[in-house]
Amino acid sequence: MADQKKMVEEITSMEEDFAKWYTDICKKAELVEYTSVKGCMVIRPYGYAIWENIQKILDAKFKELGHENVCMPMFIPESLLQKEKDHVEGFAPEVAWVTHGGSEKLEERLCVRPTSETLFCEHYANIIQSHRDLPKLYNQWVSVVRWEKTTRPFLRSREFLWQEGHTIHATAEEAIAETEQMLNVYADFCEQNLQIPVVKGQKTESDKFAGAVSTYAIEALMHDGKALQAGTSHYFGDGFAKAFGIQYQSKENKLEYPHQTSWGMTTRLIGAIIMTHGDNNGLVLPPDVAPIQVVIIPVAQHKEGVLEKAEEIRSQLSSSYRVKLDDSDQSPGWKYSEYEMKGVPVRLEIGPRDIEAGQCVLVTRHNREKTVVSLDNLESAIAEKLAEVKAGIWEKAVENRKNRTYKCTTMDEIKQVLAEKGDGFVEAMWCGDEACEDKVKEETGVGSRCIPFAQEQISDKCVCCGKPAKCMVMWANAY
Amino acid sequence: MADQKKMVEEITSMEEDFAKWYTDICKKAELVEYTSVKGCMVIRPYGYAIWENIQKILDAKFKELGHENVCMPMFIPESLLQKEKDHVEGFAPEVAWVTHGGSEKLEERLCVRPTSETLFCEHYANIIQSHRDLPKLYNQWVSVVRWEKTTRPFLRSREFLWQEGHTIHATAEEAIAETEQMLNVYADFCEQNLQIPVVKGQKTESDKFAGAVSTYAIEALMHDGKALQAGTSHYFGDGFAKAFGIQYQSKENKLEYPHQTSWGMTTRLIGAIIMTHGDNNGLVLPPDVAPIQVVIIPVAQHKEGVLEKAEEIRSQLSSSYRVKLDDSDQSPGWKYSEYEMKGVPVRLEIGPRDIEAGQCVLVTRHNREKTVVSLDNLESAIAEKLAEVKAGIWEKAVENRKNRTYKCTTMDEIKQVLAEKGDGFVEAMWCGDEACEDKVKEETGVGSRCIPFAQEQISDKCVCCGKPAKCMVMWANAY
């Protein structure tokens, strides 16, 4: 127990300093390590394995829906980036520029892609001629670079991993349906696989993606009450098609501009997992993406038969679950702390007396509940426990969001509730005027996160100017 | 048949112009498309799906052997690249330099990784203290950039995809064993999964990787007689560890330098597949990595029941194979050509008379052999055909290599055989002197590819200077 205590003391408590607690987990759970490249990080094996599991689930969903993976160059010539006016204005200030190849100065600067709309458009212009060539449902898994000033592991780094879907369709209707479909894929993934409840909605004009007609997003609430945008999906109309000269011959033999979308999810999701489910003992991982779902800790492992039995169980379980047996020479107490820090959903303890009684102990990470189970029904017992973890962390996250969602009708109410209860989702009506959006941010600190699809008529007046309200907006401080 | 002929005529024959034949296939099989970024290409869905299949097989093998995936930054600060002298000399002339972030000039230039030894070393220096921390068996799947002057799809491009394994071990013996193990993994993959025969060997001093003690490689022979390096594995000794200050406390409590390796395979493999197995009708894909293993072409598909039956077969086969049913409105002849161009290993034709007789026709891509098979044993018939394709393309490749491997004892013999029979593997003895290596290249055009592990005493004199020979070298023109 001394060992265990020592480990736990090593991380700052979330109540004391949430930001420090977060970075402590990133380091102690061995998710990332800093590098001499400012703002860039190493994603270590344990962190990368979470990303691989995220990729696997999402990639299968994308393919099921007819998407194909491609790979575009990582460089964009300056002239190509400049083709769509809003787009270049949005991204040019934060790109990294390649100016030299070897010792030679390049004739034209290349930026390292911050996103790849322009490259996809150039490609579409090459390969699309007829309505028969549509739609193209493409995606790529790559890293992108944005020259951020202040950075934090997973949440904001100069290079990050993501997938970017880029699709092109004959009609606006099809493209809009795709934009909505992918937002739903993202929301379902967050809720069903990561147990992170999200709010689906549309971004206001001022918060749209550079070059988009409309941007949809899912917003999650972190444990400290700040919002985190977990995924976005953009509808571009035919703006990019016009800028890049992409046209197709319709069935009626007319030249038409196609309609486009893009959508993305990033390694930020790992930050969202940490800040939604983590606690003062470390990470708490959703079973679907946990690199280790069950860790087996032998007790009194030097005693005859213990390691053999533990290995037998490992082998038996490993056809259904991601299992690790830790037979290292550390104490069981040390190991308990270690895998709590790493957020392994279920711990299986087995010692000589358990073996004699034909049983073992299962401990669920999120609530440390212990259950003695028979070795005869182990696989189904594990399945139950994993389901319990999912239900448990989901409920906790939903509860946190409920406690931190505030309906307000005046600016003073917003200020008061934030002062009293701390950060959270503020639901308040808005007239649609950007000046009011800015003023709410300025006076109360919370910005508009989205216009939720699920609207509620909290009042009929704008929370800021008192004029007739157009919609309910969700406001929050955000990562 | 008119349609089919038209398609076939579209590509240059390999006898007429091998280089043009190659790029024709890259384009017509929809593997790649050029971009406005000089030397960089789009890997299109069909090409990328081949890479995904390659990744899947290799990644599973790596993990089976205890390797873990990580992700390093794509940038390397200039000062970090310079830490190992040989390494920087080898790579600095061909890197892309990032000099600006947004509108600000960076204090230190960053290069886009041409390879990541320096980043891994920096990380190892951070995380390795004790013998308990060793070995680390890491790998990453990323793209790298080398500023090549002349480029060709897959074979040489400024950005290419690869995996780079980087491992670090307590002893030289362990590291050397890893280097050899991974070369064997590569060789087995080429031979068993891609049906590309390879020669395993060691690179000469002049041809080693920048910073390596020894470099091992596998060399394949393309259809035109040129060699292609299909994979490399490097042993670094403790040179990088010393340059980067990586040390560990041994069991005996002494500070020691660990030993390192790295190994890589790239999207060049797709080029190797094209040039080993392709023919004048297009690509011929090894079944293990073919995005489509079986394409179903309905004949007289407007007739009642044909499409239904075709779909029934597709659904039945798709649990065991990667299957596509092409029910588009193109003619069967057009489709035959299209999927021959795309190298699909087995084509399944089914029309009204087949359905009546409870049969279908299977055509193997590599030899266009037709077999009528009963629909009752379709799955095992497909398995047989795929095995036939594997055996057939393997034999053809082995035969080509046999016909184009020349044993020579004098410089004149080398010149003569190359003039008479064209490019190929030249096996000839060497004294070990770099001057002779250079002279062979200068006078005959063929460079040393490797010192094969499987040695043969062709003569006891160096092919160049006539002094006592140290070993047999394999010489060739190379991609």
- At B392-420, the pLDDT tens digits run 999 999 999 999 999 999 999 999 999 99
Fold matches, A294-388 and A405-476 = no
Give the per-residue pLDDT at B17.
97
CATH 3.30.930.10 given to domain B2-277: yes
A37–B contact, CB cutoff 8 A: yes
> What is residue B456's three-state secondary structure?
coil
Residues of B in contact with A161 (CB under 8 A): 71
Q: Which residue has the tokens 């390292």?
A: A112
Nearest to B387 by CA among B319, B321, B310, B297: B321
Structure tokens at B33: 């498309």
Structure tokens at A168: 């092109």
B102 and A123 within 8 Å at the Cβ level: the answer is no
Give the per-residue pLDDT at A4.
46
CATH code, A11-277: 3.30.930.10
**ipTM exceeding 0.85?**
yes
CB B227 within 8 A of CB B207: no
CA B416 to chain centroid, in Å, comes to 31
Q: A90 or B18, which is more confident?
A: B18
Tally A–B CB contacts below 8 A.
Answer: 148
Residues of A in contact with B42 (CB under 8 A): 70-73, 119, 123
Mean pLDDT, rounded, for B437-456: 97
Mean pLDDT, rounded, for B30-52: 96
**Cα dihedral B100→B105→B106→B112 (10° resolution):** 20
Give the per-residue pLDDT at A85.
87
HEC letters along chain A = CHHHHHHHHCCCCCCCCHHHHHHHHHHHCCCEEECCCCCCEEECHHHHHHHHHHHHHHHHHHHHCCCEECECCCEEEHHHHCCCHHHHHHHHHHCEEEEEECCEEEEEEEEECCCCHHHHHHHHHHHCCEHHHCCEEEEEEEEEECCCCCCECCCECCEEEEEEEEEEECCHHHHHHHHHHHHHHHHHHHHHHCCCCEEEEECCHHHCCCCCCEEEEEEEECCCCCEEEEEEEEEEECHHHHHHCCCEECCCCCEECCEEEEEEEECHHHHHHHHHHCECCECCCCCCCCCCCEEEEECCCCCCCHHHHHHHHHHHHCCCCCEEECCCCCCHHHHHHHHHHCCCCEEEEECHHHHHHCEEEEEECCCCCEEEEEHHHHHHHHHHHHHHHHHHHHHHHHHHHHHCEEECCCHHHHHHHHHHHCCCEEEEEECCCHHHHHHHHHHHCCEEEEEECCCCCCCCECCCCCCECCEEEEEECEC
> Crossing angle for the helix pair B18-28 and B268-277, nearest 10 degrees?
110
- A187 residue type, one letter: A
Q: Which helix (H) or strand (E) holds B97?
A: strand B96-101
Q: How far apart are the CA of A251 and the nearest CA of chain B, in angstroms?
A: 14
B101 and A147 within 8 Å at the Cβ level: the answer is yes
Residues of chain B above pLDDT 90, percent: 95
Nearest to B248 by CA among B334, B395, B129, B366: B129
* Residues of chain A under the 70 pLDDT cut: 1-9
Structure tokens at B326: 């092409």
Q: How far apart are the CA of B22 and the nearest CA of chain A, in angstroms?
A: 20
Mean pLDDT, rounded, for B217-228: 98
A147 and B40 within 8 Å at the Cβ level: the answer is no
Q: How confident is the model at residue B234 (pLDDT cuts 50, 70, 90)?
A: very high
- Rounded to whole angstroms, the Cα distance separating B430 from B466 reads 9
B112 and A122 within 8 Å at the Cβ level: the answer is no
Burial class from Cβ neighbours inside 10 Å (0-12, 13-18, 19+) for residue B207 reads middle
**B80 to chain A: nearest residue by CA?**
A36
Q: Which of B51, B52, B71 sits opposite A48 (nearest CB)?
A: B71
- At A96-130, the pLDDT tens digits run 999 999 999 999 999 999 999 999 999 999 999 99
Best probe of the A interface among B75, B122, B142, B147, by most A CBs < 10 A, is B75
Q: How far apart are the CA of B405 and the nearest CA of chain A, in angstroms?
A: 37
| pLDDT of B9 above 80 | no
CA B162 to chain centroid, in Å, comes to 9
| pLDDT of B1 above 60 | no
Mean pLDDT, rounded, for B124-132: 97
* Surface of A (151-180) touching B: CB under 8 A: 158-159, 161
Q: Which of A52, A69, A98 sits opposite B112 (nearest CB)?
A: A98
* Surface of A (74-103) touching B: CB under 8 A: 74-77, 80, 92-103
- At B178-198, the pLDDT tens digits run 999 999 999 999 999 999 999
CB B192 within 8 A of CB B185: no
Give the per-residue pLDDT at A5.
45
Class of domain A294-388 as given by CATH: alpha beta
CB B445 within 8 A of CB B426: no
The conformation of residue B175, written as its DSSP 8-state character, comes to H
CATH code, B405-476: 3.30.110.30
The backbone region for A300, taken as left when phi is positive above 0, alpha when psi lies in -120 to 50, beta otherwise, is left
Structure tokens at B389: 């394709």
Q: Which residue has the tokens 């609530």?
A: A367
Residues of A in contact with B158 (CB under 8 A): 101
The third-level CATH classification (topology) of the domain covering B294-387 is Rossmann fold (3.40.50)
Give the per-residue pLDDT at A9.
54
Nearest to A368 by CA among A262, A281, A245: A281
Task: Provide the residue ranges of all domains of chain B, joining segments of one domain with +.
Answer: 2-277, 294-387, 405-476
The tally of CA atoms less than 13 A away on the side-chain side of residue B78 is 12
Give the per-residue pLDDT at A263.
98
Q: How confident is the model at residue B10 (pLDDT cuts 50, 70, 90)?
A: confident
A35 and B74 within 8 Å at the Cβ level: the answer is no
